[in-house]
Structure 1
């Protein structure tokens, strides 16, 4: 039977056309997970966690949830204490659709609990208390094995695994062993009862003396049909029918390897249960299982708490919701021609100056009146607009044209200014959830950032950006991140205003982009400032000075191109002709548009407010003239963004997509 035909059999698993039932037996643990922001040093140290959570874990437990996510019937057989951890695990299984009738909670037992530390590279360290409960397995309902299409066990409950495997063998049902670390006598007892033994490299080394391919052949003496070893990014090797085979791993951006091997075992067991041959089963995990931990979608990587998708995507492809959202922000040609009116302090200052009053004297009604004028006169002429929730939405949401995309800002304009740098926070009572609920097409966040700021300040900023990115991933909504360099408190050119820092160094801008283009932040569109001050940018005329300037823009373009993240330019209030020059350099480096505000509308407010008719007339004449020039330049030179949707090659029948997404 061909590999493709075998994989096609899995389309029938959950439809009932080919019913499959899997039993997973072994460890269920309650995992307490700490995330830290740097790799481990290897010595004694105290590390501050940037996140903490409690999740279900355990090898066979994770495998059972993976099987359930892939659409098959699955039961977990295991032991825990009749304690809070045991009940929490049982409830989690039930919520995931796993049969727990034979997950027994012993009155005098103690549940297994693990502590997991995940570092910034995605690697982890695990400490496990394996629990206290009876070893005997005479209570297992062996008649129920007759329903199974395949069974899996890990080595943590030897009596249970041996009992289950003996019964399955007697009925001709395939047995799969999760070969994790265990004493040699455990494997010597279980391997003769095993059809498919899949080791981790450390476990194979500990048992056979080496994890090389020769060790697989040496273990053939136990009579297993397949002896395999998973090698992480090196793929998987296996010995079958006196021959060695290999399957390469797919390349993905690692976020967290916790549970990855367990998902492999669950997916492989399901494939064997469905009748696939061994190579097809290995390819099923390689081609499908990687989506259980996609790089840009699931901040939580433990299989107890994530969706499994059977939709083929390459590793740089965005999800359907993010693609649809970005398409709403762009015009029909794939250019982002976005007008920003989420500004708060800059607009307060403009109104105050126009009226001859102080910023504190500006009234709420003045701000909403100004924003309504901006939307009324500019919205029909741009691809999307950037709103804030407290002023722009109540002022003018009713005026936003249906075909104009809506980006909602999330950050509070008031920052915590410290000697070591600026700290951002979200607007009070505002969230990604609310933005998605109100129909926003994207979430925008401004992060003040300097790579040379105090380490604690930068960690705060990274966490702020990362957590919002995780929220956007959960809600499948595009994440627009704006980055701005700023002057330090007490420096000669310090200001809290939203103005370009004249003394900024290109490296500060470029290194900031390099940091936040990392997959861990889940950014979909970058809103960036010029790496060089707009007022000092030379004409792009081929001179040595212009070529040197172009290299700075190209550095940004290279980073964004490598991460497949489109980027647009903010105006920073630059004069129109200066901003056009910024765009000229940026478009040569691969930028896809602009997200500008003050350059387009500031003069109309400064010169005419509170005369609303005069503001409107100025916007229609001068404001639109600037906007049209920027749009023409963008259409002529900007890089077109294109949505990249999945190919749906595994969607074969009604119900497949709804289950997989």
Structure 2
């Protein structure tokens, strides 16, 4: 896969051109995600056996190597403007650029705190930094306190309006979490059973036109380690049968009013491939995937202990093989984004 066409000059076509730039010539998105910040720094420090925060130079080096070696096989790269701008210069020619807008460190642990964007950035500044699309992560529970959910929905509306004003594609990544009001969901198994409903309601909410979302970067509504009959299943007490998992995937696909791309969620590339095939079997129309840790997480310890050259060798072997395997599945299973339910400004003439 490689990046799409260059940005157009006609204002009416800007969003369309930018979305094309983040997909391949067939309208399929395979984006390499390396916008991780706080969690990547912590992982590098842990791999070194240190409690100290990893230096910013390590984050930049890691991002540069991953970007340089893996973007020849990606349609786009997702980076952050805080540590990732240097890596943009090393991406493969023609690879689209997506930049993260949310503040680092935001997590479901702060579910009652309003989400925040990076304070010294705006959508305009992200575009000036090279963004052809903007990504925002949001922790959301459709059954959470109405006040905090109202704040979160207003937050998405503001970002959507910013993106619409500048004709920039808006990728929203809503991640669900257990409800504090439902104590029975505290176990992994209980939450796995509740998750499909949470994801379906969440994608239905943010697919509404008022939010200005162009593509939903959606998490898997089913947990692969709890799907009976899947190679990835690791439990003796599954949350759902294979047929039930297919029905849950179908339910979320039907609830979505916008094109879907799945995220890798830290699963292995083999598990991501298995889930993509399951979604295709369910008849879910999705236009791609945004993969991060599935492609490079095992390289964290290698970089931390053996250095940049060792990581480069590992990426050229293992990382490339992983992204090529996912690309192969996408060629068989994904649907061009322009055939899906995109906003009017993202529909080809």
Using the size of structure 1 for normalisation, the TM-score is 0.45
Distance 1:356 1:488, change over 3 A: farther
Counterpart in 2 of 1:373? 65
Kindly state the Cα deviation for residue 349 of structure 1 after the two structures are TM-superposed.
2.4
Q: Alpha-carbon deviation of 1:354?
A: 2.0
User: Are residues 1:595 and 2:285 paired?
Assistant: no
Does structure 2 retain, via aligned residues, the 8 Å contact 1:325–1:442?
yes
CA contact (8 A) 2:41 2:59 kept: yes
- Give the corresponding residue for 1:357: 50
In 2, are the aligned partners of 1:417 and 1:489 still within 8 Å (CA)? no
Partner of 2:222: 532
Higher helix share: 2
- Per-residue CA shift, 1:529-573, capped at 9, x if unaligned? 1111122234579xx93222111111222233xx3x211111110
Q: Summarize deviations over 1:404-439 as a string: whole Å, max 9, x none.
A: 000010001233877864531101111111112223
- Shift of residue 373 of structure 1? 1.0
Alpha carbons 2:68, 2:92 under 8 Å: kept:
no
Q: In 2 relative to 1, CA 535–459 (structure 1 residues): closer, same or farther, beyond 3 Å?
A: same
Match 1:518 to one of 204, 208, 231: 208
In structure 2, the residue matched to 1:645 is 348
1:241-260 map, 5 Å: none
1:508 counterpart = 2:198? yes
Gap runs ≥5 in structure 2: 1-10, 232-239, 339-345
Q: Select the residue among 302, 306, 309 that pairs with 1:613.
A: 309
- Within a 5 Å distance, the mapping from 1:190-209 to structure 2 comes to none
Relative contact order, CA 8 A, sep 6+: which one is greater? Answer: 2
2:185–2:194 Cα contact (<8 Å) kept = no
Is the partner of 1:505 in helix, strand or coil? helix
Q: Are 1:372 and 1:392, in contact at CA under 8 Å, matched by a contact in 2?
A: yes
User: Which among 617, 621, 630 is matched to residue 326 of structure 2?
Assistant: 630
Q: Name 1:341's counterpart in structure 2.
A: 34
- Structure 2 distance, partners of 1:436, 1:538, is 44
Cα deviation for residue 369 of structure 1 reads 1.1
Q: 1:421–1:489: 8 Å Cα contact kept in structure 2?
A: no
Distance 1:383 1:431 in 2: 24
Contact 1:423–1:448, Cα closer than 8 Å, also in 2: no
Aligned positions, number: 318
Q: Which structure 2 residues correspond to residues 95-494 of structure 1 after superposition, within 5 A? A: 320-358=13-51, 360-393=52-85, 395-415=86-106, 421-487=112-178
Map Cα deviations across residues 436-458 of structure 1 (whole Å, 9 max, x no partner). 22231101000110001111110
CA 1:330/1:539 → structure 2, altered by over 3 Å: closer, same or farther?
Answer: farther
Higher Cα radius of gyration: 1
Counterpart of 1:570 in structure 2 is 263
1:458 partner SS: helix
CA distance in structure 1 between the partners assigned to 2:186 and 2:119 by the alignment: 27
Change (3 A) 1:348 1:619: same
Aligned residue number for residue 548 of structure 1: 244
**DSSP 3-state at the match of 1:401:** coil
Task: Provide the C-alpha distance between the structure 2 equivalents of 1:418 and 1:632, rounded to a whole number of angstroms.
Answer: 36
2:216 match: secondary structure: strand
SS in 1 for 2:265: coil
Q: 1:472 to 1:420 in 2, by over 3 A?
A: closer
Q: Aligned partners of 1:333 and 1:594: how far apart in 2?
A: 14
2:331 partner SS? helix
Give the secondary-structure state (helix, strand or coil) at the position aligned to 1:513.
helix
Structure 1 pair 536/430, CA: closer, same or farther in 2 (3 Å)? Answer: same
Distance 2:228 2:207 in 1: 28
Q: Which runs of 5+ in 1 are unaligned?
A: 1-317, 496-500, 647-661
Matched residue of 2:57: which SS? Answer: helix
1:86-109: per-residue Cα shift (whole Å, max 9, x none)?
Answer: xxxxxxxxxxxxxxxxxxxxxxxx
Q: State the alpha-carbon separation in 2 of the partners of residues 362 and 451 from structure 1.
A: 35
Q: Which is strand-richer, 1 or 2? A: 1
SS at match of 1:399: coil
Shift of 1:473: 0.5
Shift of 1:468: 0.2
Cα deviation, 1:460-513, whole Å, max 9, x if unaligned, reads 110111100001010011000001012457979879xxxxx7565210111000
Say whether the 8 Å CA contact 2:34–2:78 is kept in structure 1: yes
What SS does structure 1 have at the residue aligned with 2:134?
strand
CA distance in 1 between partners of 2:107 and 2:24 (Å): 37
Distance 2:156 2:199 in 1: 16
Contact preservation (8 Å) 2:269, 2:323: no
Summarize the Cα distance change of 1:600–1:417 in structure 2 as closer, same or farther, 3 Å threshold: closer
Q: Secondary structure at the match of 2:143?
A: coil
1: CA distance, partners of 2:185 / 2:113: 15
